Amino acid sequence: MRFSQVIGHHEKKKTFIQSVSNGRIPHAQLFIGSSGWGTLPLALAYAQYVSCTDKGADDSCGVCSSCRKYENLTHPDLHFTFPFPREKGEKCSELMVDWRKAITNHPYMNLMDWMQLLDAEKKQANIPTAEIRDILRNLSLKPYESAFKVMLIWLPEFLGKEGNILLKAIEEPAHNTLFILVTENTEKILGTIISRTQPVRIAPIDQESMREYLSRVPELDADKAMRISQISQGNLRNAMSLVQESESPYFEIFRYWMGVCVTRKMYSIVPWAEKVGAMSRENLKGFFQYGLELMRGVLVSAYEPTLNTWMGKEADFISKFQSLQISAAQIEQIIKNMELSMMYIERNARAPMVLTDLSYSVARSLKKM
Ligand SMILES: [Zn+2]
């Protein structure tokens, strides 16, 4: 990854480049920040720059042999360590196909995204001792091609006590070895590791860079790009989920349903429930999650309008809903019943039946008290 592919962080990139050209490359750095701010992409761009054999004044060349291998994450002097579930193997090298796919598609991912990609959301992640031994074995080898060997440890908070095996290596690494640790939470890292690394604090993505990036997302208009850049808190993951929400396929289904419940046109409920109930369980779950978020938006907007993150048609829906003057207690009741229904459906209850029952209870909750 080149610096130009990392969103924002202009000053930080300059600092990195300057330190490399001055030959001041710390042997162990700890990048600190949220995944959605781009800590991992910055670490990758930095490592690629350090190793590039034809560095420019503001970026790696992108075409030398080292850059090409860095870009498809196959450089023999780039070693990755990351947490993963026990069931998947003993060492990170066994998961490289998945790992490359994950970083290539979504370098701003967090642990949850990574575990989802491994189909292991509910499993425990850790960095096993076998992997730590593998790091040491790698350290004992000379760099194959580059001037530098890079040991990139993503989420070192998952190094348990066994992480102490690495202390000596981090403190006095073999010649031309760089440790780059990328963390979200320094409080969970072994103090002994923190004290041996140089902290590099990464800030959220600045608003203008975020807006500029979002303006290139197909079919996202300039107003929306601006609004999302303002509320995504410099976090690309937040921003992209707001982009998706603003194009949710569930909006029309949900709006129609609420209309039926509010106006109590109960004869429309059964056909609606049959149609929606025929969706896959995955889609039904998506529908419920979307509807719940929207109803929470209604609730939040009533208390503190600035906390509402919805835009466009959803924002219209929320303000129309509020004009009905439905109390917070009524909305909370609806949310509770929707959560219950989602649980029934997850447990394989017959969906059209659950949706019909839910519609009646929502209509009752909506009745003015
Ligand atoms: Zn290069």
- For position 368, what pLDDT does the model report? 64
266 C-alpha vs ligand 1 centroid, how far in Å? Answer: 66
48 C-alpha vs ligand 1 centroid, how far in Å? Answer: 7
More confident residue, 61 or 281: 61
- For position 171, what pLDDT does the model report? 87
More confident residue, 211 or 169: 211
345 C-alpha vs ligand 1 centroid, how far in Å? Answer: 53
251 C-alpha vs ligand 1 centroid, how far in Å? Answer: 47
- Taking residues 228-251, what's their average pLDDT? 83
User: What domains appear along the chain, each with residue ranges and CATH number?
Assistant: 3-203 (3.40.50.300), 210-245 (no CATH), 251-366 (1.20.272)
For residue 76, what are the CA distances in angstroms to 70, 128, 200, 220?
Answer: 9, 22, 25, 40
Task: List b or e across 324-339, with b for residues whose CB sees 16 or more CB atoms inside 10 angstroms.
Answer: eebeeebbebbbebbe
- Cα separation, 8 vs 12, in Å, equals 9
- For position 246, what pLDDT does the model report? 67
pLDDT band, very low/low/confident/very high, at 283 (cuts 50, 70, 90): confident
CA 259 to chain centroid, in Å, comes to 34
Q: Encode pLDDT of 138-179 as tens digits.
A: 888 888 888 889 999 999 999 988 888 899 889 887 778 999
Percent of the chain with pLDDT over 90: 65
Give the DSSP letter of residue 44: H
96 C-alpha vs ligand 1 centroid, how far in Å? Answer: 23
133 C-alpha vs ligand 1 centroid, how far in Å? Answer: 31
Q: Encode pLDDT of 110-128 as tens digits.
A: 999 999 999 998 899 999 9
User: In sequence order, what are the residues at sequence separation of 6 or more whose Cβ sits closer than 8 angstroms to the Cβ of residue 49?
Assistant: 3, 16, 17, 20, 55, 59, 60
2 C-alpha vs ligand 1 centroid, how far in Å? Answer: 9
Q: Encode pLDDT of 313-352 as tens digits.
A: 888 898 888 888 889 999 999 999 999 999 999 898 999 9
Q: Encode pLDDT of 182-191 as tens digits.
A: 999 999 999 9
Q: Encode pLDDT of 235-244 as tens digits.
A: 999 898 888 7
- For position 369, what pLDDT does the model report? 53
